[in-house]
Amino acid sequence: MADQDMHDHDHNSLTDEQADALIGDDEIDETFEQNDEDAAMDSGDDEGEDIDLDGPIEEIQLQNDSVAHFDGHKDSVYCIAQHPLHPEIVATGGGDDMAYVWNATPVDVREAPLLPQSYESNPQPRERRGQPMLAELGDQDETVNAITFTLPFGDFVATATMAGKLNIYRTPSSSSSSTQLAPLASAKEVEEINWLLPCPHKSYPNTIAFGASDGSVWIYSINSSDPSSPLTIVQTFFLHQAPCTAGAWTPDGKLLATVAEDSSLYVWDVLGEAAAAGVTDPNGGQAVVGLTAEDERFKVDGGLYSAAVSPGGGIVAVGGAEGQIRVVGLPRLSAPANSIAGAKGAGAKVKAGGAKQAPASATASAGQAGQILASLQAQSDGVETLDFSQPPLTLLAAGSVDGSIAIFDAAHNFAVRRNIKEAHEEEAVIKVEFVKTPLGTPNEKNYLLTSVGNDGVIRRWDVRGGTSAVGLGLVQEWRGHRGGGEGGGILGFVQGGGGKQIVTAGDDGVGLVFAAP
């Protein structure tokens, strides 16, 4: 009883402010989740806590294989793009409502080469400087979740936000000094933009397309020489009944394939060249190909989220929930000059420089337009990313939320060549992309596939088979992002210039540059 009276006396002797600061008896056993921010050394009251200083100490292994970094963003970097002619120029957009254009050539390589230094020779080596900012792309109204340079010369860079705003800027040069650029033109027609792609058609430069959360698809043309109307709507399409999640142009830029969460695929005659060639929608609609969930063969419960068109432009692959992939034939607007229908190589678009043609089974003949050529399922969760290899290989790579990468052989009825079950340690695969070169130029690395995931690791695979890395074809991996399920995954990457350099967009707010020998 005396002890209780003493406790009450001590409590009553405190001021009201001090009493409010005490932790009540009913709060002692409550557990709080630790946030990602470091707490100050003097925060909280640790008196009375038993801390085992002799217990096991968790060792944290830090590894950074990057040769340069860009740390201008203060939040996750959601998107990244690379200049089509100058791969050292990179643009990124992030969750801090900011977008930047920066130079990815390592600062220390360009200005002050450094020799490798060990801890023994220099316990405090000079801190690496971040990459120089060429420009800040101003007037963003929300998270920038899509960004691209225009084709064919990269004259402009376009950004798209989660608030539906499209901004167009003139691309700064690699020697530009850091400055804030105002948009050359802007548009805001939708509530949210999901993706943004440049059109590769040679006769329609500086044309872009985007898909919106309301299912609509928009195509704009940029004409800076017309100050009264620098941004013009070319086409709009409204057949999707759910958010439009992905798009893919045919290599010639004549057709645009888009998919949505309602499990629909439409192929649009954006520039009227299909109609001029006599290819139209048999149902009198806007699309030259249209498949929806009403067709049970095409239906994917949970929707479609990725799309890729083959290098020859003859087929489109779309991926969705539960590892489902559908391969659909596309219309041929012009027949190759040196091929015969049904012969080996038929259906592949003629490449400059004498590049080899894909086998007939990897393309679609004229009668297969709109036909479902294959239904695939080699993975257990959503297919978030798809990519075709360049000829003469005829491979399709699929990255899944279940952490796996599946390789299909289009030349052999899309048989599974390889299924790498734990390509990214059970973390979602965010993007897969074969190493590519401009059409008409030799590609000695077309068998290399680069992938990134939520584990924060870049991996490069030899899809020919090989015996490296427990037989899975792993050639090399690079680390530097936090990863490990702590918000440090990689949300995108670019590898232009023949794959010699990989530049990433990190969920940890950093862009890293990796040398890929």
Interatomic CA distance for residues 242 and 263, integer angstroms: 9
Burial of 153 (0-12, 13-18, 19+ CB in 10 A): middle
In this structure, is residue 61 part of a structural domain? no
Per the domain annotation, does 44 fall within a domain?
Answer: no
Question: What's the confidence (pLDDT) of residue 124?
Answer: 44
Q: Are strands 256-260 and 265-268 parallel, antiparallel or unpaired?
A: antiparallel
Report yes or no on 140 lying in a domain. yes
Domain that holds residue 204: 68-116+126-337+355-515
Which residues, other chains included, contact 55 with Cβ-Cβ below 8 Å and sequence gap of 6+?
none
Long-range residue pairs from 270-279, CB within 8 A, at least 24 positions apart, any chain = 270/199, 270/209, 270/219, 270/234, 270/235, 271/201, 271/204, 271/234, 273/333, 274/331, 274/333, 277/333, 277/334, 279/331, 279/333, 279/369
248 conformational bin, left if phi > 0, alpha if psi -120 to 50, beta if neither: beta
Rounded Cα gap, residues 362 and 395, in angstroms: 9
Phi-psi region of 333 (alpha: psi -120 to 50; beta: other; left: phi over 0): alpha
Tokens of 88: 């050292």
Bridge partners (DSSP) of residue 219 are 209, 235
Q: How far apart are alpha carbons 419 and 421 in whole angstroms? A: 6
- With respect to residue 22, please indicate whether it lies within any of the assigned structural domains: no
Q: How far apart are CA 493 and CA 431, in angstroms?
A: 8
Helix, strand, coil in percent for the chain, rounding step 5: 10, 35, 55
- Could you give the angle at the alpha carbon of 150 between the alpha carbons of 101 and 445, nearest 5°? 85
Both structure tokens of 279 = 């290819």
Number of domains in the chain: 1
The encoded tokens of residue 455 equal: 């584990």
Residue 138: inside a domain: yes
Q: Is residue 57 part of a domain?
A: no
Gap between the Cα atoms of 325 and 78, Å rounded: 25
- Position 25 scores a pLDDT of 46
The CATH number covering residue 411 comes to 2.130.10.10
Could you tell me if residue 45 is inside a domain? Answer: no
Q: What's the pTM?
A: 0.80
Q: Would you state the pLDDT for residue 28?
A: 32
The pLDDT averaged over each successive group of 10 residues in the chain (517 residues) is 46 45 40 39 46 51 86 97 96 98 81 41 61 95 97 97 98 84 96 98 97 98 89 96 98 97 97 89 84 96 97 96 97 53 28 32 61 96 97 96 96 94 92 90 90 96 66 87 78 92 96 93
pLDDT at 441 (0 to 100): 83
Domain assignment present for 298: yes
Bond before 152 cis per omega within 30 degrees? yes
